[in-house]
Every structure is written in C-alpha cells, then in structure tokens.
Chains A and B, each alone.
Chain A
Amino acid sequence: MAADLTSQGTAGRPSEERSGKGPEVAVDARTPQADIHARQLAGLDALELSVGQRRGFASRLWSGIWPVASAIVIVLAVWQGVVLAGWWPEYVFAGPVTTLTELADRMGEAEFYGAVAVTMRRAVVGFALAIAVGLVVGALVSRIRPLRRAVGSLITGLQTMPSIAWFPLAILLFGLTESAITFVVILGAAPSIANGLIAGVDYTPPILLRAGHMLGLRRLSLYRHVILPASLPSFLAGLKQGWAFAWRSLMAGELLVIIANQASLGEQLHFARELADSAGLLATMIVILVIGIAVDLLFGAADTALRRRWGLHQVTT
C-alpha cells in the first residue's frame, strides 16, 4: 500500500505534535464519510491488483519450442558427425537417417503400439502401487515419532540402492513374471514418494499449523485440511523423482525379465542387441527417452500450475 494517505501519525511516532491543531471534523458526519471511505478503499484495492500482461499464444509457443528444437538439431548433428567419423561401421552404429526411417516404419506397425502399451501398463500399475505404498509409509513415518527414528534413514538408504540390484532377489521370489518387475518398480519409486511427503509434512509452516489450531482443527482434521495440502509441492517433487526411478527400474526389469508373448520396449531392446539390429535398438531407445521426458514434462506442468495457484512461482527473466 501507499504511504499514509491522511495526515494521521503512524505507528510508534510521538503523536502530540498534532494535538489541538487543525480543524476538527464533526463526529456526526461519520456515516456518509465512512461510505466515501469504503468507495475509496475499493478504488485503492482495484489499483493494487495489477493486471499481468499475457503474451500471445504464438509467441509463448515459439519460446517454448525453439530451445527444444535447437537441442534436437544439435544432438542429430553430433550423432551424424560421429557416424561420419567412421569409428564404427554403419551396421554397428546406425546413423540418424537410418534410425529415424526405422522408427517411422515401426510406428506404422501394430506391434510397436502393443509393445508400448505393455510397457506403459506396467509403468502405470507399478507407479500407482508405489504411490500407494509411499503415501502409507510416508504418512505413518511422518506422524509416528519412534517409527520416524527407526525407518526414516532406512528410506533414504533404499533410495540410494540401484534398482537393478533388487532383481536377483525379485526373480527368486516371484520367478520370471511381471510381479518381479512390479516389485522392483515399487521399491525404486516408493522411497522417493514417501520422502517427498515426509519432507512436506516436516516443512509445513508453523504459522499455518497455529492458524489451523486456532480455527479448531485438531489431529485428523488438521492433517487433512492443513498438513496434507501444505505438503503438496514437496509431495509432487517426490512424485517426479519417483517417476524417474520407476521408469529406470522398469527398463532394467524388462531387459532382465523376458516374458513370452509380451512384447515390451525393454524386450525389443534386448532382441535388437541379440540380432545386432543397430537401427532398431536406437529407435527403441529414442522411444524410451521420449516417453520418460513426456511424463516428466507432465509432472513439471503440474508443478508449475500448483506454484502459480499458490503464488510461489518465481519471476521469469
């Protein structure tokens, strides 16, 4: 707000200098004056709510696309350069043109979409279960103090464990089945998700807890109306990280656990290597990369939307 708009003394300033000076406004003129005040107040409020300038759709689209486009061009150029350098023969390391043609061919076949569907189904199921496990563990650990000491650092420890190291055990327990893959995906993603929730609960601003308490929210209702919403940004960050871990675990799993009649992206990678199909291998890798990035962008968009809603977004330069 602007500085004091009337000549009244501000907080803490000695105020006697005004005493007895100046004409007194009649007290009974209060009501119409209060009305004027109210209207002036509305005017001030309107002035304060600055209207943000929104750029046009085309310019926003362009500013979003050009960095990505130039990155792709750079990667393709380096790739082509390496191929032209001739360190490897073309049948070992296919060039971008061969690979992209192969990818285009595959995208015309139903088999390709079948493989993507199988992989995505596994990813979604595994990630959904990981969220459930992460939520339950995170909620328990953040609320129960003794559990916190016992399990808190264990969760962080689990996060540092390379997921591929779980597969021998998973295969022993579940055999060469999808359950083995799901098991490792959950173990890969759940710790990050749980940690995100725990951090969010820990960093709930105390003033909001106090405000909730004053409003009469206690225990479960405080958790539901204050603590959980307050931990949402941190939880979302946990989800994003959890997704990266889940996707990696899934690819490791699909390379190791080959299930008959279940064509998947990992399996395609495996057979492309067996058959020394360089273009096919690289094409599959591109698909894996693109899916991973796309889902990550989704989480990024959710995060941005949340920050915008809460007024946490930073000033863009």
Chain B
Amino acid sequence: MTAPLTPPLTDPLNGQTADRAARRGPAVRLESVSKVYGHGTNGLLALDGVSLDVAPGEFVCLLGASGCGKSTLLSLVAGLDAPTAGTIEADRDRVAMMFQEPALFPWLTVSANVEMALRAKGVAKAERRSRAAEFLRIVHLDGFGGKRPHELSGGMRQRVALARALAQDADVLLMDEPFGALDAMTRDLLHDELERIWRERSLSVLFVTHNVREAVRLGDRVVLLSSRPGRVVRDFPVTLERPRRTDSAEVARQAAEITDRLREEVLRHGR
C-alpha cells in the first residue's frame, strides 16, 4: 500500500470536548490495532495499525469503502473479537452496540426485545416494561411493542435495535451503518433524535457509515479509513454549528470536500 499514514488529529476543534477529554481520558482508545483473519498465507489483514481516540461525549463518524474493516473495528472495540496486535481501551460494561443488521430476537415481541437490555441489568419487571415503552416512543414506535420483529419493516426493525441499544444506558454507543436501510425522511428524523439523545446523555458515539453527508451531519469528527488493509487515512474535524441539516449548503460543501478526498484515495488504490 502506498497510502501515507497521516497521524490522526488529536486536537478536536470543539473546545468543550477537548476539555472533558483532558479530564477523564478518552472513552475509547485504539493504539496500533491490527486484525488478521485466518492464518499464514491465507490470512487477511483487515486492519493495519489503526490508532483512534474517541473523547468522552464526542461523536466520531467512521467512513470507508465496503470491506475496509469498519465492522471489524467496532467488534474489536465491543470486545466481541480480540485484536491480533495493538491495544484497545474501553470500559466494556459501558458499551452498547447496534449491529449492521437489526439482530433482534425473533421469539420475543418488540417490547421484550428492548426489555432484554434491562433484564440483563436486573431491572424489575414493571419498570422494564415502562422504560421499554419509553424507548420505543423515542424511536417513534409506540404502539408496536406487542408486535413480533418479522411483522415490522426493515427500517422499523432497525429502529427497534436503536431503542434496545439506548435502553442499555451505556456511555459509549457503537453504531454500524444503523440507518443504511432507512428512507431519507426517517433517517433525518432519527438523526435529530440521535443527536438529542447523544447531547442529553453526553454519550460517546462511534458511528460507521457509507454516507458522507450523514457523517458530516452527525459527527464532531469524520475519520476516513482506507481499504485492504484498513488504515486511518485522514481525520476531518467538522466544526459546523449544530443543529445541522443534511440538506444544508454547509453540510453539502464539507461533504463534497471529504468526497474529493475519498476519490483521491480510491484513485491512489487504482494505481
């Protein structure tokens, strides 16, 4: 690979975030993390020396082509898989994850799926029920608690998964292309909700997406990953004032800049 390794920016331009980071240290820290799938000559280097910090309360968007190791990175942070090399610091008990697919339990109702997040924490039954209803209301699915996952559309299932992840009441939220299957209208609405929840709970979010505008709409930083092997190519701070709109000119301009940069990466690969 000829892609130069640009050191990730460790100075987010959001002063408040930087302040909190200094006090508590990063919520998630990856240091020279590599991941090889398989062994020997058949091994596939999915991630190569990825270093990345997510400050407490920071919203970081991961951008990269398909197959560049974004899901791999998230499952390493979640502790579902172990890195081949490097270290990852994260409080595993305070991490929630939304997978690329909804991953709902088909034998449970929508409400029971959300309640499962609370059950593992030992919350009493009556409270579980009312809190699940509240999270379903947040994702605009009130009244669907009694349905089974297969009775919902793909986008609705993804919203249930979001409710379930939120119900975990974690500090760090890992999201793997959570809104990829949604139509633009629903996506806009959930961006607003997610931003609100992120603010209110000062969550740290690591958000994977293919959509440059979505990344700019949501992120404090947009981190660009290269493909095969996955490396951090570039770290763009997004300084636009919130609330942002996906269809605003500023978001479009910044997205265009990043898209250009992404094209350069792709071209470099083509050579």
Contacts and interface: CB of A to CB of B under 8 A. Distances in A.
A11 B117 contact: no
Contacts of A1: 153-155, 181-183, 186
Nearest to B96: A214
Interface stretch (A33-41, A141-149, A240-248, A267-275): A33-41
Interface stretch (B42-50, B53-61, B211-219, B231-239): B211-219
A121 interface: no
Nearest to B65: A12
Nearest to A221: B120
Given A1-B183, A11-B180, A15-B213, A6 B119 contact: no
Interface in B235-271: 243, 245-249, 252-253, 255-256, 259
B103 to A, nearest CB: 4
A215 B211 contact: no
B259 A208 contact: no
Contacts of A27: 243, 245, 248
A11 B210 contact: yes
Given A15-B256, A16-B256, A24-B248, A311 B106 contact: yes
B228 interface: no
B78 A214 contact: yes
Contacts, number: 152
B252 A210 contact: no
B201 interface: no
The bracket for how many chain B residues form the interface is: 35 or more
A133 interface: no
Contacts of A229: 105, 107-108
Interface string A102-139: 00000000000000000000000000000000000000
| Interface residue range, chain A | 35 or more
B8 to A, nearest CB: 23
B1 interface: no
A15 B262 CA distance: 12
Given A20-B252, A41-B189, A12 B210 contact: yes
Given A12-B210, A15-B256, A229-B105, A210 B80 contact: yes
B246 to A, nearest CB: 6
Given A18-B247, A18-B252, A207 B101 contact: yes
Interface in B46-94: 75, 78, 80, 93
B28 to A, nearest CB: 15
Interface string B126-158: 000000000000001100100011111111100
B248 A34 contact: no
A287 to B, nearest CB: 37
Contacts of B106: 310-312
B97 interface: yes
Contacts of A310: 106-107, 148, 150
Contacts of B183: 1-5, 44
Interface in A166-221: 207-208, 210-217, 221
Contacts of A58: none
A9 B141 CA distance: 26
B206 to A, nearest CB: 14
B93 A49 contact: no
Given A9-B213, A38-B189, A40-B185, A215 B120 contact: yes
Nearest to B260: A16
B155 A10 contact: no
Contacts of A9: 211, 213
A177 to B, nearest CB: 42
Given A1-B186, A12-B211, A225-B116, A20 B103 contact: no
A309 interface: yes
A30 B116 contact: no
Given A8-B184, A10-B184, A27-B245, A34 B189 contact: yes
Nearest to B248: A24
A7 B245 CA distance: 13
A312 B106 CA distance: 9
B99 interface: yes
A214 B253 contact: no
Contacts of A4: 183-185
Contacts of B97: 214
A282 interface: no
A216 B123 CA distance: 13
B120 A15 contact: no
A44 to B, nearest CB: 7
A14 interface: yes
Interface of A: 1-12, 14-16, 18-20, 22, 24-25, 27, 30, 34, 37-38, 40-42, 44-45, 48-49, 207-208, 210-217, 221, 225-226, 229-230, 232, 309-312
15 contacts: A1-B182, A1-B183, A6-B184, A10-B184, A11-B214, A14-B259, A18-B247, A20-B252, A20-B253, A37-B189, A41-B185, A49-B151, A213-B80, A229-B108, A310-B107
A-B CB proximity, top 10 nearest: A311-B150, A16-B256, A19-B252, A216-B120, A211-B103, A11-B211, A4-B184, A48-B153, A310-B106, A8-B184
